[in-house]
A and B are shown apart, each in its own frame.
Chain A
Amino acid sequence: MMYIPCPHCGHRNADEFVYGGDSDKRRPENPEEVSDAGWSDYIYSVPNVKGVAEEYWRHKRGCNRWFVIQRDSRTDRMTQCSGN
C-alpha cells in the first residue's frame, strides 16, 4: 500500500489522490508564437523520469488541494513535499 503525505492532512491512502504530472511544466507564455511541434511537445511529451521527480498531486478525496511532492518512480517512495 502506498501512502502519500498530504501537507494538510498527513499520511493518507494513495487511492484518495490524483496524479497531476510534472510540476515544472509551464503553459507557453505566448501561445500564438508556438509551433505545432512546440505544442505537441507541451501537450504530449512527459519527462517520464526513472528516479526522483517533482510532481503535482491533488488530495481529491480529502482536502482537495494541490501540492508538489518528490517521488522516486523506481520505488514510489515519496520524499519531500511543500504546501500549495
Chain B
Amino acid sequence: MKYSGFNLALQSLFKHRGWQPAWRAAEPRKAYDVVIIGGGGHGLGAAFYLAKYHGITRVAVLEKSWLGGGNTARNTMTIRDNFIYPDSARFHREALKAWRGLSEDVNFNVMLSERGMTTILMSDRDLSDARRMINTTAMFGAEHRIIGVDELRRRLPLMDNSERFPVVGGVDHPEVTVARHDAVAWGYARAASRLGVDIIENCEVTDIVLDANGVAGVETSRGRIETRKVGMAVSGHGTQVAAMADVTLPVETCPLQAFVSTPIKPVIDNVVVIRSLNTYFLQTDKGELVMGSVANPYPSFSQQGSSAIPERTLASILQLFPAFERLKFMRQWAGILDLTYDNSPIISKTSTPGFYVDVAGSGGFKTTPLAAKMHADLIAHDRPDPLIEPFSLDRFDTGRLILERASYGNR
C-alpha cells in the first residue's frame, strides 16, 4: 500500500488496522541472479536500484541480524561534501545531490533536512585548507564560502572565544543535510521488497562458493544459495567476508564513536565542525546534541572505542561552548568502520569474477544513495561508471590513491 495522505485518511476510517508490514519476511530460495551481503542502507539500496533501473528482481539481500542494525544505525546522520581531492569532491558532491528526491523515490519519508553546516576555523592553516576545499568543490558546483568572525558569532551565539585557539573565521556549507538514518534502511527495504527483492534477515553468510568461472553461490546459516553475482555491502567485517571470495581488501577495522546528550531546547540549527580540534556536533530534531570525533587510533572489532576520545572531544567542545558544561549524556556508542589507507571508499570489481564490493566508506552514510546506485550499476554491467573508476581496488597497486583527509576516519 502506498504511503500517502489519502491512504492515511482512508486507514483512519478503519482504525489503522489495514496497514501491511513494510516488507515481506522472505524465505531464501534456491537460486538468485544477484545476492547482496549486508542489509544496511548500502546493501538494500543496491538491491532496490538493481530492481528499479536494471530490471534484475531475482535479488536477495542477506543480513546476519536485523535490517539497518549495523552502521546504518550507528552514525551521526550528516551528509556533507567538503572534500579536498577532485575525485572524491566530485563523488561526494554527486552523493549529496543523490539524496534529493529519495523520499519520493522510495515512498518513505527519510526526513531530509538541509540545515547546513558551519566550520569554525582557528588558524591560518585552517583558513588556507578551507580555501583549497572551497576552490576544489566549486568546480563541481558546491557552494561553500568563507565567513568572517562577526557572521560566525551571529550564527553561533553560544560560542565563546578560545584563549588557546582564537577563532579566525568560519565556513558556511549551506547544502549540508541530515537524514533520519534508520528510515533510509526501512525505506529502501520496503521499496525493494515491493519490486520483488527478497530480504532475508538472520541469515549469515558463512562462505562464498567459487568455481572456475568465479562466484557460484553462497553458504549461509539458512542453507546454500546459488548465484553468479555477489555484491558485498558490509561494514566492519569487509576483510572477513571478502576473504571468503579469496579477495584481500586493504582495510583495517576501527571503531568510530559518537555520544548523545539528553534533549534540550533548540540551541543550534547547523552541524558545527571545529576543524583544528577534530570534533563536530549537531542537534537532532528531538533536541539531543550528538557529538563525534575521529576514529580510534588502533584497529578493533570491539564496538567500544577508547575513552580518551570522548574525553578529548568534550574538552574541545567545552572550550568553545562552555554553555554545554552541565549537559548530561544519555549514551555513547561506537560503530566499526572499514578504513582504507587513503580514507576513500572502495566500490569495485575484484580479482574474483562475479564478486563486487562497496566497502570502506570511512563514514559511508553520506554516500548511501549514490554508492548503492553505482554498486548496482557495476553489478548489472560488470564495468564501473566513470564516477567510481577512481575508487577501484587496483588503485593500491597503481599508487593512484585518493588521500582524503576530510574524512572522520582521518589518521
CA distance A2 to B308 in the complex (A): 9
A44 and B297 contact, Cβ closer than 8 Å, known pairs A14-B306, A74-B302 = no
B411 nearest CB across to chain A (Å) = 10
Give the distance in Å from the alpha carbon of A77 to the alpha carbon of B58 in the complex: 44
Contacts of A26 in B (CB 8 A): none
The contact of B297 among A19, A36, A46, A74, by CB within 8 Å, is A19
Residues A48 and B251 in contact in the complex (CB < 8 Å), given A14-B306, A15-B306, A37-B397: yes
**Among A15, A37, A41, which residue has its beta carbon within 8 angstroms of that of B308?**
A15
Mark interface residues in B388-399 (1 if CB within 8 Å of A CB, else 0).
Answer: 000000001111
Given the known A-B contacts A15-B308, A36-B397, are A73 and B300 also in contact in the complex, defined by CB atoms under 8 Å?
Answer: yes
For residue B131, CB closer than 8 A to chain A, the reply is no
Bound-state Cα–Cα, A19 to B255, Å: 14
Q: Does any Cβ of A come within 8 Å of B23's Cβ?
A: no
Question: Does B278 reach chain A (CB closer than 8 Å)?
Answer: no
Among residues of B, the one whose C-beta sits closest to the C-beta of A2 is B306
The residues of B that contact A45 with a CB separation of less than 8 Å are: 248, 250
Question: Inside 8 A of A1's CB, which chain B residues have their CB?
Answer: 307
**Contact B306–A73 (Cβ < 8 Å):** no
Nearest-Cβ distance from residue A44 to partner chain B, whole angstroms: 4
Residues of A within 8 A of B239 (CB): 48, 50
Closest to A41 in B: B248
Cα separation A25 to B348 with both chains bound (whole Å) = 27
Q: State the CA gap A36–B199 with chains docked (Å).
A: 41
Tell me the complex Cα distance, A37–B395, Å.
Answer: 11
Chain B residues positioned under 8 Å from A73 (CB to CB): 253, 299-302
A29-73 with Cβ < 8 A to chain B: 36-37, 40-41, 43-46, 48, 50, 73
B240, A50: Cβ atoms closer than 8 Å: yes
Q: Which of A44, A48, A75 contacts B253 (CB 8 A)?
A: A48
- Asked whether any CB of chain A lies closer than 8 Å to the CB of B304, the reply is yes
B6 lies within 8 A of chain A by Cβ: no
Is B302 a contact partner of A18 (Cβ separation < 8 A)?
no
Q: How far is the CB of B135 from chain A (nearest CB, A)?
A: 30
User: Closest CB of chain A to B209's CB: distance in Å?
Assistant: 22
How close is B289's CB to chain A, nearest CB, in angstroms? 24
B252 interface contact, C-beta 8 A: yes
* Nearest residue, chain B, Cβ from A18: B297
- Asked if B237 is an interface residue, CB under 8 A from chain A, the answer is yes
Q: CB-defined interface of B243-283 with A at 8 Å, one 1/0 digit per residue?
A: 00000101111000000000000000000000000000000
B306 / chain A contacts, CB cutoff of 8 Å: 2, 14-15
Report yes or no: B396 in contact with A40, Cβ–Cβ below 8 A.
Answer: yes
Q: Which of B276-315 contact A (CB under 8 A)?
A: 297-302, 304, 306-308
Q: Which of A1, A13, A36, A45 has the most CB of B within 10 A?
A: A45
Q: Is B85 an interface residue (CB 8 A)?
A: no
Whole-angstrom distance between the alpha carbons of A15 and B324 in the complex?
Answer: 25
Q: Which A residues touch B251, using CB under 8 A?
A: 46, 48
Q: Is B108 an interface residue (CB 8 A)?
A: no
A-B contact pairs, 15 of them (CB 8 A): A1-B307, A2-B306, A2-B307, A14-B308, A15-B306, A18-B297, A19-B297, A44-B340, A45-B250, A48-B252, A50-B240, A73-B302, A76-B300, A76-B302, A76-B304
User: Which 6 A-B pairs have CB atoms at the shortest separation, nearest pair first?
Assistant: A19-B298, A44-B250, A15-B308, A48-B239, A40-B397, A44-B396
Q: A14-B306, A40-B399, A48-B251 are known; give 12 further A-B pairs, CB within 8 A.
A: A1-B307, A13-B308, A44-B250, A45-B248, A46-B251, A46-B252, A48-B239, A48-B252, A73-B299, A74-B302, A76-B300, A76-B304
